Copies of this chain bind each other. A is one copy, B any other.
């Protein structure tokens, strides 16, 4: 076995004399090349050539981002028959064909992209594969390449010279699922030093196809909180990011066509995890203020659905609620979910089990209901979320509504959402 994948990637054979073994000599060469790559990772070309994306693996020269946010992708693939690059909304909706150069490297430069984090992948002879030059991020139910396109005027999610909290991987045994689960827990700056201070808690959930790593890797939630706290804009808080999937221990596997049953089972199973496993574990493990006035839940997309599904049934546990680009699913049962596939109206009297039926009671009990959407999201998202906002306001339900200008159903929307939402918590 050659030491370096590149040796294979570039179609050559193992170096002579290596006997296929991982040798000391090639270890040295590998060390040196790795370190060299790190040194080359600084942007050294003129601006019109673009600079390597911050989401590249160390040393990778592409993708390159130009000053007008065009992006140049490339891949050396002398024997490929066809190659495209494709990706999330922010990249422009359709695959870009790549062109083969004389050295076997394919490349393309896209039109200007919107800022933010975009998933992408190559389509190599019809197979979707990741870019070896990119870090990977869990999305679409698998590891996926991602590109960070800077927003020149925004540093709220940058790692700045302010005190930083920690992100802790916390394993816990779920009675609901019978399995060990991993949650990530952000503890604010000073948590260890101020050893008697107690903190409010925000449970913050990812979207469909993503996992508990999403908010700190794609979302940069820890840096958003660090910056808000340093500026005195948000209260120091604990942020819990759990895995939004659960299956009750011993439950049967539904048939593959029973997707609605799966969806409902999964939502109720995750509800049980949050209520019976996660919250008690967090309150037992961290210095929380363990009451509803100091507990919030929010999530993006599927996580927003889950947030509304869970919090509106458990207002004894939550006083702060946020749904970030979360589809509005006005009711809670399987039949309602079915009906909701084509909802025409949002009935504030019956929606979510009647949670909003008495606006005055709701307004006293819920300290914050926050809904958000990106203006470049699809009509269905904007219409449904906007429609619910309008109906709720008309009925007298207090809420905050935030539109992220020009961003789609992706992470730049949700970063901005968190930056607006977090300062409103626990006031």
A75 and B22 within 8 A (CB): no
Oligomer copy total: 2
CB-CB under 8 A for A27 and B327, given A34-B245, A169-B167, A254-B39: yes
Which residue on chain B has the smallest CB distance to residue A1?
B93
**Nearest CB of chain B from residue A251's CB, rounded to whole Å:** 9
A263 and B378 within 8 A (CB): no
Interface 9-mer from A64-72, A120-128, A149-157? A120-128
**CB within 8 Å of B: which of A117-149?**
121, 123-130, 132-136, 138, 140-144
Q: How many residues of A contact B (CB 8 A)?
A: 114
CA separation between A364 and B199, bound complex, in Å?
48
Residues on B with C-beta less than 8 A from A86 are 1, 8
Which residue on chain B has the smallest CB distance to residue A384?
B24
Residues on B with C-beta less than 8 A from A32 are 259-260, 262-263
Most chain B CB neighbours (cut-off 10 Å) among A141, A260, A378, A409? A141
CA separation between A218 and B375, bound complex, in Å?
41
Residues on B with C-beta less than 8 A from A253 are 39-40, 42, 44
Residues on B with C-beta less than 8 A from A355 are none
Does A111 touch B at the CB level, under 8 Å?
no
Residues on B with C-beta less than 8 A from A34 are 141, 208-209, 245
**CB within 8 Å of B: which of A41-79?**
42, 44, 57-60, 75-79
CA separation between A153 and B60, bound complex, in Å?
41
Does A89 touch B at the CB level, under 8 Å?
yes
Residues on B with C-beta less than 8 A from A6 are 128, 140
Which residue on chain B has the smallest CB distance to residue A128?
B9
Residues on B with C-beta less than 8 A from A88 are 1
CB-CB under 8 A for A126 and B30, given A1-B87, A86-B8, A254-B39: no
CA separation between A141 and B9, bound complex, in Å?
13
A208 and B81 within 8 A (CB): no
A259 and B33 within 8 A (CB): yes
Secondary structure class of chain A's binding surface, majority of residues = mixed
Does A29 touch B at the CB level, under 8 Å?
yes
**Nearest CB of chain B from residue A316's CB, rounded to whole Å:** 27
CA separation between A99 and B247, bound complex, in Å?
36
Does A427 touch B at the CB level, under 8 Å?
no
Does A102 touch B at the CB level, under 8 Å?
no
A129 and B126 within 8 A (CB): no
B125 and A79 within 8 A (CB): yes
Does A334 touch B at the CB level, under 8 Å?
no
CB-CB under 8 A for A21 and B378, given A161-B173, A259-B32: yes
**CB within 8 Å of B: which of A251-279?**
253-254, 256, 259-260, 262-263, 266
Does A358 touch B at the CB level, under 8 Å?
no
B262 and A35 within 8 A (CB): yes
CB-CB under 8 A for A341 and B87, given A127-B80, A168-B166, A209-B34: no
Residues on B with C-beta less than 8 A from A256 are 36, 40
Residues on B with C-beta less than 8 A from A378 are 19, 21-24
**Nearest CB of chain B from residue A217's CB, rounded to whole Å:** 10
CA separation between A125 and B78, bound complex, in Å?
8
B77 and A127 within 8 A (CB): yes
Given contacts A128-B132, A192-B285, A192-B286, 7 further A-B pairs with CB under 8 A are A9-B127, A19-B378, A31-B305, A33-B259, A80-B126, A159-B171, A167-B169
